[in-house]
Structure 1
Amino acid sequence: VTPVPNCSPKCSSANWSHTDVNFELGEGIAYITLNRPDANNALNDTISQGLHDACFELYHRKDIRIVVLRAEGKMFCAGGDPKSFADAAAMSDADNRKAAVS
């Protein structure tokens, strides 16, 4: 996995601040947990940012050999969150581009 160019992480495992994605490191293993059980872990901007930040760090960590992707609640992931699509549709093209790289 290669990080998206010009898209810096908002946090790392040392100062993890995402609530919709949990990120834990063990000895040679990382755990990424989707944490929106009330929304069946539907993907939205905050989950996307959390996944990006976790993958960005893992790309640079040669000591991690296994990544476990899991989820809280009854469902692993319901897919894309329709509310996120509606929010994006209401934004201008320029605002969508800005949000995509921030």
Structure 2
Amino acid sequence: MQVQPTIGADALKAISERFAAEERERPAIRAAGIAALHRLLPVAQRCSGQSRIVRRFLLSLYNGQVFPFALTDLRGLDTAPLQRLYRSAAHGSAPRNGGARVHR
């Protein structure tokens, strides 16, 4: 017979507090993600190596199964576009339980 590990009251409280903190942070994460997407769209429409990477990343956010993205391609980006990609990805992962999505 296998013994199931128990979660103590302190651990449950810590988990609950972390979820509550994430809920409070959600509007700021969403706003930063949307702003990052707006700055990335013009970059994605240009004709350069970095634009190709940004374009493929945004397509992957839209539908990763149809538009797969190799994470090693991120090495080809300068710091500013890379940080915007991170923010846009955080926005895409922030919604839970019926929240907004990156694509429609």
Query: Is TM (by shorter chain) over 0.5?
Result: no
Q: Which has the greater radius of gyration?
A: 2
- What is the TM-score of this pair, normalised by structure 1? 0.32
- What is the TM-score of this pair, normalised by structure 2? 0.31
Which structure is higher in helix share? 2
